Structure 1
Amino acid sequence: MSERTMELSGSEVEGLLRALVAVPSVNPRDGAGPGEAAVAGVVRDWLAARGVAVELHEALPGRPNVVATVPGRSPDALLLESHLDTVEVDGMSVDPYAGEVRDGRLYGRGACDAKGSLAAFMLAAAELAAGPPPPCTVLLAAVVDEEHRYRGVLALLNALAGTRIAGAVVGEPTGLVPATAHKGVLRYTVRTLGRAGHTSRPADAVNAISLMARVLAHLDATAPGVPDHPLLGPATRCVTRIGGGTGPNIVPGSCEVDIDRRTLPGEDPYAVWLADREELAAVLPGRVELDAPFTVDHALDTPAGSAVVRALRAALAARDRDSTVRGMPFCTDASKIARAGVPSVVFGPGSIVDAHSADESVALADVRLAADVVADLARRMDVA
C-alpha cells in the first residue's frame, strides 16, 4: 500500500464545497424545477479539470448522474456513491446558497446532506488519479433523486450491470464513523370509514375522526412486535399526517393518517404491511382500510468482515479515529446497492442532526479528513 497522503489546503476544500452548495439542486419531486443538472455539470467539470475520466448518464429526463473512473491495477471496482439532490430550502435561517463559513463550518443547503460527502469523494478521486494506480478501479457516482424515489441509484446499478464491484462506500453524514446497518422504511395511508351526517344529529352518523382516535391510541400503545437489532435498536411506527372532515357542520365520514414504519434487517416491507393491515383492521372491524404502500425502502446490514468495511476501519484506525461499526436510523442508497449484491458501508462528514435543518452546515476539517480516509481506504482495498 502506498504511504502517500493527501495534502489538501483548507481553501481547496472550502472552494469545492462552496461551489457545490452555490448551485441549487432541490429535488423537484416529479414537479417543475431545474433539478440536479447544473450541479452535475459542476462535478463533471471539476473532475475533468483534474484528469479524471468522467461522463454524464441521464437517469431521468434532464437529470443526469455523474460517473467518474480512476483506473486501478484490477478491473474490480470500489464504488464511491453520493447524491446531487437536496431537500427544499423553505424556512432556512441562513442563505441556502452562499456557502458562508463561520468557526470552521460551511453553511448552506446540502452542505451536510450530502455535498460534504460528495466533495470528500471528489477530492479523494482526484488524489488517486494523480498518484500510482490503486489496487482496484475506483468508480465515483453522484446520483439524482435520492431524496424522493431513489431512481438515480437504480439507474446507476442498471448502467453498471456486468461490472464487478467489490464494495461500495455511500456518502451520507455519519459523523465519520462506519455505518454497516441502517433501518428501512415503509409508508402507507390508513383510513377509517364512518358515516357522514348533520352535526345537529350526531347520533345518526358515525364520526370517522372519533374512530381514528381509537386507531391512534392503539398505535401509541402497541410497538412493532419484532426483536431489537444490536446496532439499530427497535423497529418504530409513527403517525406523520392526519386529515378528515369536509365542513364545520358535517360529521366526517372518513379520516386518514399516514404511517411511517421503520423496518429492521430481515423484515420484508410488504409482509410488514400485510401484518399491519390485519392488526389495524382488527381494532375496528369493517371500519379500517389500508392503502398500498407509497414508499418502500429496505434496511441495510453489511457484515463487518466485508473487505470494504475492513479497509474503511483500518483507514480510520490509522488516524486514531473511532472505527467501531455503527447503525443509522435513516435510509440511504446503500440498501439498494447492497440488494444488488455489493457489500456497502455508509460513511461521511457531518451529523444527521444538521441535515435538512434551518442552518445546515458541516465542518470543513471533517470534509478534509473524510477525503483522506476514503483515498486511504481505496489504497487498502483487497480485491483478491
Structure 2
Amino acid sequence: MSNLDAAQLTADLIRCPSVTPEEGGALVLLGDLLTEAGFEVSRADRAEVSNLVARWGQKGHAKTFGFNGHTDVVPIGDANAWSVDPFGADIKDGILYGRGATDMKSGVAAFVAAAVDLVKDTPPDGAILITVTGDEEGPALHGTTAILDHMAQEGEQMSVCLVGEPTCPNEMGDMIKIGRRGSLTAWFTYRGIQGHSAYPHRAKNPLPAMAKLMDLMASHELDQGTDHFDASTVAVVTMDTGNPATNVIPAECRSTVNIRFNDAHSGESVTEWMQGLVNQVIDETGVLIEMAVKVSGESFITPPGDLSDLVARAVTAETGRVPELSTTGGTSDARFIKSHCPVVEFGLVGKTMHQVDECVPVAQIHQLKAIYARILSDYFAA
C-alpha cells in the first residue's frame, strides 16, 4: 500500500526558498514526483511566474476533482528574529518549522500525497487535476489566472475544486470556507494651494478635505451583513502629508482605504458610492480630489450543498468536529476558480502563517492528508 509521507514532502518544499515570485525548486520537485506517479504534468508559466498543472486520468472526464494551492511564500522579514533557519524545515518536539509550513506548503503536500496514494492503490473512475501556482502571495496576476487560461486552451475542466489554504482559526476541522468577501483598495490624492499657516486665507488646505472624506467613509455603515456574510467593512489604512514644517499649509496630501464587501455590493457599486462622497467633499471644500481604485476580487459564495457536505463529512470523520461554513477572512485564489467550477477551501489551523517561526504540528499534516484522502475516496465512490 502506498504511503507518501506528507510531512516529509512539506519539509522538502520548505527547503525550497520560493519567496514570490521565485520558484525555488518547489514546482520542479512536485512535477517530478507527480510524473513518477503517473500524472501528466505541464507548466503554465507566465511572465516571471511559475505554475504547475498535473492531471491523472482522462482529460475532460465528467468526474474530475481539482486541488489548488501555492508554493510561493512571503518574505522571512528579520532573519535574526527567527529561532530556526526559515528554510531549514527543523522539527522540534513534533513541530515542523519554516516559512510556508502553514501557508501553505503543508496543504500542497497533503493533497499531493493523498492523490498519489489513491491513484497508485485504488485508481478511481474519474480524473484528478492538481494546480499549484507560484504567485498567490504576490500580485496574483500570473498565477491561478494563468493556470485557468492554460486549462481553457488545453480543454482541461475541473468538476469541483478544493483550495488547500489554512481555514481553521483555532482547532483542526473547525471551519470550511465556502466563499469570500470582495476586496477593494482606493487611493486618494488631495490638491490645494500651499501657504503660510499664519495666513490660511491665502492658501487652500487639503487636510480638512482629507479628514472629512475619511470620516464620511469610516463612519458609514455599508450594510449589516447578509445571509452568508458578515457586514462589509471600511478601513482607513493611511493618511499622509509628508509635511515636516509647522508653519506651512501643504499643497497636497494622500490617503488610502481598504474595503471588504459582501454580496450586497460589487466593486462597481462601492466605487460609485465612494465617487459620490468625493464629489460631495470637492463641492464643500473646493479641494481637488483624485481617486484610483483597484478591485482585487468580487465577493462570491458556493452555496452549501454537495461539495461542502462532502468536505464536512470527511472533516467530521477524521477530527470529530462539525466544521462551520464561513466566508470570513481575506482573499484567496478561490476568487478566480469560482467562475470555473464550484469551489470550497479547507486546510490547517492558520495561527502562525506569515509570522516569525511559522510552524505546524507534524501530526496535523498527517491528519490533513487523511481528510483529503477521505474526500477523494468518497467523491469517486458516489
TM-score above 0.5, yes or no: yes
Structure 2 residue runs of 5 or longer lacking an equivalent are: none
Q: Give 1:382 deviation, angstroms.
A: 6.1
Change (3 A) 1:273 1:19: same
Which residue in 2 is equivalent to 1:31? none
Change (3 A) 1:128 1:65: same
Superposed counterparts of 1:1-384, under 5 Å: 12-28=5-21, 35-36=22-23, 38-49=25-36, 51-71=37-57, 74-91=61-78, 93-94=81-82, 95-150=85-140, 151-161=142-152, 162-175=155-168, 176=173, 177-199=175-197, 201-224=199-222, 226-245=223-242, 248=245, 250-285=248-283, 286-287=286-287, 289-305=289-305, 307-319=306-318, 320-340=320-340, 342-351=341-350, 353-381=351-379
The 2-side partners of 1:301 and 1:382 are apart by: 24
Q: Give 1:62 deviation, angstroms.
A: 4.4
TM-score by length of 2: 0.87
The 1-side partners of 2:48 and 2:159 are apart by: 30
The 1-side partners of 2:202 and 2:337 are apart by: 55
Change (3 A) 1:68 1:235: same
Change (3 A) 1:55 1:62: farther
Aligned with 2:324: secondary structure? coil
Change (3 A) 1:219 1:75: closer
Instruction: Write out per-residue CA displacement over residues 83-127 of structure 1, whole angstroms, 9 at most, x where no aligned residue.
Output: 121112113632321222234322221111111211111111211
Which residue in 2 is equivalent to 1:32? none
Instruction: Assess if the C-alpha contact under 8 Å between 1:81 and 1:169 holds in 2.
Output: yes
Count of residue pairs brought into register by the alignment: 366
Change (3 A) 1:186 1:368: same
The 2-side partners of 1:133 and 1:382 are apart by: 10
The 2-side partners of 1:143 and 1:257 are apart by: 33
Partner amino acid, structure 2, of 1:346: E
The 2-side partners of 1:76 and 1:149 are apart by: 32
Partner amino acid, structure 2, of 1:325: L
Q: Give 1:332 deviation, angstroms.
A: 0.8
Instruction: Assess if the C-alpha contact under 8 Å between 1:182 and 1:329 holds in 2.
Output: yes
Instruction: Assess if the C-alpha contact under 8 Å between 2:6 and 2:369 holds in 1.
Output: no
Partner amino acid, structure 1, of 2:54: A
Instruction: Assess if the C-alpha contact under 8 Å between 1:135 and 1:380 holds in 2.
Output: no
Partner amino acid, structure 2, of 1:61: A
The 1-side partners of 2:135 and 2:202 are apart by: 49
Instruction: Write out per-residue CA displacement over residues 18-65 of structure 1, whole angstroms, 9 at most, x where no aligned residue.
Output: 11111111114xxxxxx125221122123334x142424143234321
Instruction: Assess if the C-alpha contact under 8 Å between 1:22 and 1:98 holds in 2.
Output: yes
The 2-side partners of 1:312 and 1:75 are apart by: 19
Change (3 A) 1:370 1:68: same
Instruction: Assess if the C-alpha contact under 8 Å between 1:196 and 1:207 holds in 2.
Output: yes
Instruction: Write out per-residue CA displacement over residues 230-271 of structure 1, whole angstroms, 9 at most, x where no aligned residue.
Output: 443111111223322455254211111111110112521122
Q: Give 1:355 deviation, angstroms.
A: 1.7
User: Where do 4+ consecutive residues of structure 1 move more than 4 Å?
Assistant: 72-75
Structure 1 residue runs of 5 or longer lacking an equivalent are: 29-34
Instruction: Assess if the C-alpha contact under 8 Å between 2:190 and 2:253 holds in 1.
Output: yes
TM-score by length of 1: 0.87
Change (3 A) 1:114 1:276: same
Q: Give 1:145 deviation, angstroms.
A: 1.3
Change (3 A) 1:160 1:113: same
